[in-house]
Amino acid sequence: MRKITLLICSMLFLFSSVAFASLDDTKLSIEKQYGDYRLLIDSDNQLWTKADWEAKGAKRAKAASYRYSFSRQGIGVQMEVMYANNKPDALVVAQRFTPDMPITIKEMKKYFPEVYALTKAPKANFFATYSSISRNFQEGQSPVSMGVLIRELSNGNYYTLLAFNVQDEGRLLKNIEYISEDTYIREFTIERASRTTVHDTMDTSKPDWQPIKNYFN
């Protein structure tokens, strides 16, 4: 058995399987959509192959997050997911997508149609901010972040939040005015947003999350 110690960030993301993202997706539906996980990180921050985990690891530690690998239109994608437990019907608790190369906002529909569907929701709010939206990004971040908030409660008390680590062509994005359909996405997450967070960042006279147009069309 081979184990590699890694440091991982705590995650808060959410995602769905077939048509659109949801806080109610499960381990079973994720694996139907993306296949079996390739690697697993346990609660002690150790990395396991699927075979080693199922043979020995599960008897010694608790799973923390699962890593999946798949391809979209010739681009490899790494996806990390945290579940509430290890049962097939366990709800997704956290999710991050990292393509091998950045894609533009207008290409989301081509590479991630199941995520793009969320941007078409009737209560989708598009915004940008000079504050960090997510603490779950792993790549370097621009001074500007972009997000989509779906103002429909899911899994009880949370809204669904798409957070995008955006970049300009070959450089960091420093001004919200520079965002366009050609802006690059380096990685993105699907997370929970509490009603308190939304109230404090969007529903004020001077919102930190500033409304922008929908560049995903």
189-208 tens-digit pLDDT = 988 888 999 999 999 999 99
What predicted TM-score, i.e. pTM, was given to this entire model? 0.84
**How confident is residue 85, by pLDDT bands cut at 50, 70 and 90?**
confident
Burial class (CB in 10 A: 0-12, 13-18, 19+), 151: middle
pLDDT tens figures, 181-191 = 999 999 999 88
- Amino acid residing at 84: A
**Residue 142 contacts residue 168 (beta carbons within 8 Å):** yes
What would the mean pLDDT of 176-184 be, rounded to a whole number? 97
